[in-house]
Every structure is written in structure tokens, then in C-alpha cells.
Amino acid sequence: MSDRISLTIDGRQIEAEPGQTILEAAEEAGVYIPRLCWMKGLSAFGSCRVCTVRVNGRPQSACTQPAAPGMVVENDTQELRELRRSLIDMLFIEGNHFCMFCEKSGDCELQALAYRLGITAPQYPFMFPQRELDATHPEIFVDRNRCILCGRCVRASQELDGKHVFGFVGRGAGKKVAVNAESGLGGTDAAGDDEAVAACPTGSLLKKRVGFAVPVGQRRFDHQPIGSEIEQAQSEE
């Protein structure tokens, strides 16, 4: 434990182990840094940019930046809260997210972050893109309208399931998630219990026939904001 790293987040001193990222160190210290594409157990991706913090004044994604001695990290500032709202807004208007009809409502990290950041309506105009659905698989469906291109399914399939069910195709605004079969998800070796399906932060990958098994009102984010579990874990210690 001798080589523990000491750094500050929003003026508070915290400690990190060598190799830990800012996000991981913060989490251990009970400081929640909002994130979407990051997921425990998966390699860091750095695509959503929601975890952007200022490190010694420079913007960095907390999920990819290793903690280093003496770092001064800004996290919960007006500027960064606004930046994150802007990013979340972009993800909303880029796709077709209709929370009121979505099976994932209350369990959705995008929705939960919007609530936490106080978004009532996006500041940017909706794009209303035309996106494809894929219901070819007997147990899982893909609704790209709700996809935020976080790559959690891509990584989880490779890193946790030992498969290659998903991948990205296209570039720029035309980028989308594809599956490893021309005929659709049904042609792949995906299974309903794959970690890749559970990894989806939104309602883009869902198991069929269990959409409302947990009733609205009893879902993860129905009673407390996303990130509370991290903040509470610390205060209970």
C-alpha cells in the first residue's frame, strides 16, 4: 500500500492505486463521475465523453485517464455539468428516445442521467433519424432507435461472453451497431443470457417477453438518482 497515489477531486483529497483511472479512484472514494460508455469489468472506451473532467485544467475523460500523484481534478463544476448536459442532449436528439413507451424506462442510464443533470427537454433540435429494428433473434431484439453507440455490447460480447456478436459499421453520423451475420441477430450465436445484452445502458438491446417483469415504480432509478449507490457506499462506511 506504500505506493498509493494521492490526488484531489473538487478540492477533496482521495487516494488511488497505481493503474487506476480517475473514474475508478473517484468511485472508490465515493465520488460519482457521471458516465455512460464505461462499465465495470469492461475495457475503457472513452466514446460518450460524459465523464469529462478537468485534470490540472485540461479536459480529459476520467474513464481513460490514469490517476497520477498530485493531480487536481475538477468534476462537479458548473462548466462540467453544462458540458455533460450538452452531451446527454446530443445523445437524445441523435436517436429516437421515447421514454414513455420504452420498456427500459426507470432502468435506463441515459434517462437516469438526464434526470440527475436536471434535463427536462433537450436544448438541440431532434434529428428523428430512421433506424433499423432487428427482431430476428428468438430471445433478443435490437432497437437502434435507442442506441447511443457506447460500444458496451461490442466489448461485453468479446470480453465477457467470448463471442463477437456485435461491431460498428459506417462512420460519422452514419455509424451504427451491426451484428455478425448478414441475416440479423438471429443468425449469430447470441443468447438471451449474454452479458452483452445486459450491458446495454438503454433499451436498445432487450430480452423479449420480460420488458415489464419488474413493474415501473420498482426499477433501479425510480427512487434515487443514478450514482447514489456510489455516493452512499462511502457515507455508510
Partner 1 sequence: MGATREEVVKVICQDYGNDRSRLLDIARDVREQLGCVDSPAVDCIAEVLSIPRVEIESLVSFYSFLYSEPQGQVQIRICNDVPDMMKGADRIASELEEELGIQVGETTPDGKFSLEYASCIGLSDQAPSALVNDLMVPRLGAGTARRGVQILKERGELKELDKLLIRDYGDGNNAHDLVRSACSNNIRKAGEVILAEMRRGAGLEKALAMSPVEVIREIKTSRLRGRGGAGFPTGMKWEFTRAADGDRRYLVCNADEGEPGTFKDRVILTERPDLLFEGMTIGGYAIGAEDGLVYLRAEYAYLREFLEHALAKRRELGLLGENVCGKEGFHFDIRIQMGAGAYICGEETALISSCEGLRGDPKNRPPFPAQHGYLGKPTSVNNVETLCCVARILQRGSGWFSAIGSPGSTGTKLLSISGDCMRPGVYEVPFGIRLSEVFAMCDAQDPMAAQVGGPSGKMVGEADFDRTICFDDLATGGSLMVFGRDRDVLEIASQFMQFFVHESCGYCTPCRVGNVLLKERLDKILGGHGQPTDLEYLQRLGESIKMASRCGLGQTSPNPVLSTLESFRSAYEERIRDADDVEESGFDLQSALSTAQTLTGRKSVHFED
Residue ranges in contact with partner 1 by CB under 8 A: 44-50, 52, 59, 61, 64-66, 82-83, 86-87, 90-91, 93-94, 124-125, 127, 148-149, 164, 166-175, 178-182
- Nearest approach in angstroms of CB 209 to partner 1 is 26
For residue 139, the tally of other CB atoms under 10 A from its CB is 17
- Residue 62 vs 103, nearer CB to partner 1: 62
226 CB burial (10 A radius; 0-12, 13-18, 19+):
buried
- Residue 164 vs 209, nearer CB to partner 1: 164
Rg (CA), the chain: 18
- Nearest approach in angstroms of CB 167 to partner 1 is 4
Residues with Cβ within 8 Å of residue 227, at least 6 apart in sequence:
32, 34, 116
- Between CA 193 and CA 160 the distance in angstroms is 12
- Nearest approach in angstroms of CB 172 to partner 1 is 4
- Residue 166 vs 221, nearer CB to partner 1: 166
CA 228 to chain centre: 15
- Nearest approach in angstroms of CB 11 to partner 1 is 21
